[in-house]
Amino acid sequence: MLYTGKEAIKKYGTRYNLSKALKNKEIFKLKYGIYSDSDIVDPIIVVSKKHPGAIITMDSAFYYYNLTDVIPTKTYVATSRISNAIKDEKIVQIWTPKEILKVGQEEIIIDNEKVKIYNKERLLVELIRKRNQIPFDYYKEIIHNYRKITEELNMYKIEEYLSLFKNSNNLTQILIREVF
């Protein structure tokens, strides 16, 4: 289980007791202000706990949904354009307009922790939108895996998400040509 600093102090009663628990390895400090009962925790969970307004996206979400076998070296998150910059070299922050930030967001449970992540449909739209910024082989691998799950995808959601972007007609043509 993950704890914020306040939650960890509440659990152990005082900062002193928390310090003793850290020394005795009853609890582990993962990052500043984030503690866990385990010393090894999925980075997605840690980022979600530390940055509750962030939504897991792109490479991290593709890996979670088994759309790629490339393990991301950084955690990719979408945040509002007006949010503060995340100063962590292991996090890639993607600035998103507030109006579309939560479109396609789902809450999933990983190791008993809630994590905000984009659904497969939103990720497909993001993949198509950012296709020129992604290595070609990586893009093709993910597209190939999307082709395998086309029956699982909700076309109405994809159409809704595409309509939110200025170049939706172009994106739709690319999507039809590459995936369906």
Tokens of 64: 């979670």
Q: Same domain, yes or no, for 37 and 63? A: no
72 and 100 assigned to the same domain: yes
Share of the chain above pLDDT 70, in %: 100
139-161 pLDDT tens trace = 999 999 999 999 999 999 999 99
Q: Do 32 and 114 fall within a single domain?
A: no
Task: Give the count of domains, the chain.
Answer: 2
Q: Which amino acid, one-letter code, is at 150?
A: T
CA distance 112 to 169: 40
| Same-domain pairing of 160 and 95 | yes
Asked whether residue 6 falls in the same domain as residue 71, the answer is no
Q: How confident is the model at residue 180 (pLDDT cuts 50, 70, 90)?
A: confident
List the beta bridge partners of residue 35.
Answer: 3, 29
The string of pLDDT tens digits covering residues 31-84 is 999 999 999 999 999 999 999 999 999 999 999 999 999 999 999 999 999 999
- Please work out, in degrees rounded to the nearest 5, the angle formed at the alpha carbon of residue 93 by the alpha carbons of 97 and 30: 135
In this structure, are 66 and 115 located in the same domain? yes
Give the range of the structural domain holding residue 9, as residue numbers without chain letter. Answer: 2-41
CA angle 77–82–85, rounded 5-degree value: 55
